[in-house]
Amino acid sequence: MISFETPEMVDQVRNMLHSMVNNIVRPIARYYDDHEHERPKELEAFAPIMQAGMGGGGRKSAKKEKKEIKATDDRIGANAISVAGAEEMAWGDVGLMLAMPGGGLGNAAVDAVATDEQYERFGKKYCAMAITEPGCGSDASAVTTTAVLDGDEYVINGEKIFVTDGDRCEAVVVWATLDKSKGRAAIKSFVVEKGTPGFRVEKLERKCGIRASDTATLVFEDCRIPKTNLLGDPEIRPEGGFKGVMATFDATRPLVAAMALGCAQAAYDFTKEILAKEGIIPRYDRGTLELSAVERDLLWMEAQLEVIRLMVIRAGWMADNGRPNNLEASMVKAKAGKYGNIIVQKCVELLGPIGYSRDYLLEKWMRDNKVNDIYEGTQQIQMIVVARRILDYGRDMLS
């Protein structure tokens, strides 16, 4: 029998974080939206939580138990807890969630690809992830940043743009190619620590949304790092060599979907509360034709939110139970990215002047949520991934 009940452990995380973000994050959201690039000192208390969540909390135990996991297991682990936490954090504020010190998107790469020794070195560092380049966006396999082995060091050259937490982090996980002629298989991820000669933050972006989070352009010029900073297997393998790097997305895409869900839930909750004050309360015991247009909109949004939530939980649960979740991760990223934005825009529409006024956070949530449909692979890219997995088509058969 399928259970749709949220595990008690996940509920406990939700309840704890909901109270914290409501009392700490929400009250400062507008200030840091207006003061882009200012570091939110109020969030320092969240660092241990972020290290345990985004930083792959439970990775070691999961790795040790991997051989013991069976198809019939029902394990609730770090991934399920992380997506629940991401939803609640984003309900407070997406930009401030991304500005939380202690754990960044790069930590997911360390968690997915690093050896045990590397995890000991980098697992607790605040890591950003640098993939996108001026001429390389959604197609991560087209990166041109190079890493050349010179003795016991790799020399990295290239430029990365739109790097979340690129200025505030302690280290950056950089995607670079060992040999351009060998295509995707030669792309590896490298940890470059802040302060390394040849590595600099070129500029910080001014953005439409998530303004509390810094988004940087990074430049690497003859940047030398120890060869042990290459995450995982250094060999170029024609078959499967790129999969280790791409495994990062299987962990981060459900997190981004959870963020889109949290932001959309915030907009829905606010809209429902305002309308209730005007006597507009959706009736659950009536047929569609008996409901007002506003009631139908509210019930439709609520249904979409529940669908996304179940998809997010499933993607996290599959990862915790040792099941490949590439398809499910892309499906929920596509669904949450698109419908999260539709929901927030619908809320703005329903509330009219209130929805568009800076006296309230709803207009900010509309600006913030758009990015969840873009980074970690756009909605269009996710649809291609989904089609490939369902149809079992190779890269050259569907583009």
The helix-helix angle for 243-277 and 326-351 (nearest 10°) equals: 30
**The token pair that represents 256 in the structure block:** 């981004």
Is there a catalytic annotation at residue 376?
yes
The whole-angstrom separation of Cα 380 and Cα 58 is: 32
The whole-angstrom separation of Cα 16 and Cα 305 is: 21
- Which contiguous run of DSSP H or E holds residue 199? strand 199-204
Q: Which residue has the tokens 């396999």?
A: 141
The whole-angstrom separation of Cα 122 and Cα 107 is: 8
Q: If you ran DSSP here, which 8-state letter would residue 210 be given?
A: -
The whole-angstrom separation of Cα 98 and Cα 110 is: 18
Helix (H, G, I), strand (E, B) or coil at 376: coil
Going from the C-alpha of 127 to that of each of 56, 122, 124, 197, 358, the distances in angstroms are 12, 8, 9, 18, 33
Could you tell me whether strands 153-164 and 146-150 are parallel, antiparallel, or unpaired per DSSP bridges?
Answer: antiparallel
**The token pair that represents 35 in the structure block:** 């003061």
**The token pair that represents 301 in the structure block:** 């949004």
DSSP string, 2-43: ---SPPHHHHHHHHHHHHHIIIIIGGGHHHHHHSTT---GGG
Query: Which is catalytic among the residues 87, 170, 363, 376?
Result: 376
**The token pair that represents 20 in the structure block:** 């914290």
Please identify every residue annotated as catalytic.
376
